[in-house]
Amino acid sequence: MSSSPAPNAAPPPAPPAKETVSGRAAATREALLAAARDEFAEHGIAGARVDRIAQRAGVNKERIYGYFGNKEKLFDVVIGRALDEFAAVTAGPEEDPVEYVGQLFDYYREHPALLRLLMWEALYERPRAADETPSEAQRRRIDQCGSRLEALAERMDRTSDPAVGRTLLTLKGLAMMPIAMPQVAALLGVTLDDPKAAAAMREHVMAFARTALENGLMDQA
């Protein structure tokens, strides 16, 4: 005959709360995407290895195939996020265009992986049909970038048109180039490793943008 528990005995401790399967799956997926971002930024899609991505994420590489299908599809998801980030940075607050160039320079310097991913994507970009309908994500990115175009057009006292688009592209190029092509910068004796040198480069691209905008050099049709 089993004995009854003592009247004043404390109840047994409740079992620890368990993370839901969906929560664990989401965390694993995010870990894989973070690891894949680093791997693809360093090696591109051809040089990236799924075993290294899995090792970075601390999971079995079979999870990559389970969540994404294959390396190419994982690359597409990583690039989609990079394009979302790029569109958000492009949109940004509607500050002075010259200050915008300086802020872009700072952002790209702090997030060099973003530029590397975009360059790898440009090299790997697959041909698209001329009549291919933009995806919902692509339309959202176009709308985000369009808000910056409209703000810049207003500052230039003109309607948003291809000339404004060329101006915005040039402004972004000024901010990108020293960081995107460090090997070219090194050939010209330019380095961003030293904080003073980086600050000088930042002031230079801003001054270049200011001069061009003030003299209407970017205002040509």
pLDDT at position 219 is: 57
User: Residue 94: is its pLDDT beyond 80?
Assistant: no
pLDDT, one tens digit per residue, over 42-65 is 999 999 999 999 999 999 999 999
For 24-44, what is the mean pLDDT? 94
pLDDT, one tens digit per residue, over 205-214 is 999 999 988 8
User: Residue 67: is its pLDDT beyond 90?
Assistant: yes
Residue scoring higher pLDDT (54 or 2): 54
Give the C-alpha distances (Å, rounded to integers) separating 10 from 2, 13, 110.
18, 9, 55
User: Residue 38: is its pLDDT beyond 60?
Assistant: yes
Which of the residue ranges 90-99, 164-173, 177-186 would you say has the lowest mean pLDDT?
Answer: 90-99
End-to-end Cα distance, the chain: 97
pLDDT at position 130 is: 55
182 CB-near residues (< 8 Å, 6+ apart): 192
* Cα gap 4→32, rounded to integer Å: 51
68: exposed, middle or buried (Cβ count in 10 Å: 0-12, 13-18, 19+): buried
pLDDT, one tens digit per residue, over 128-147 is 655 566 788 888 888 888 88
Question: For the chain, which domains are there?
Answer: 22-69 (1.10.10.60), 79-125+136-221 (1.10.357)
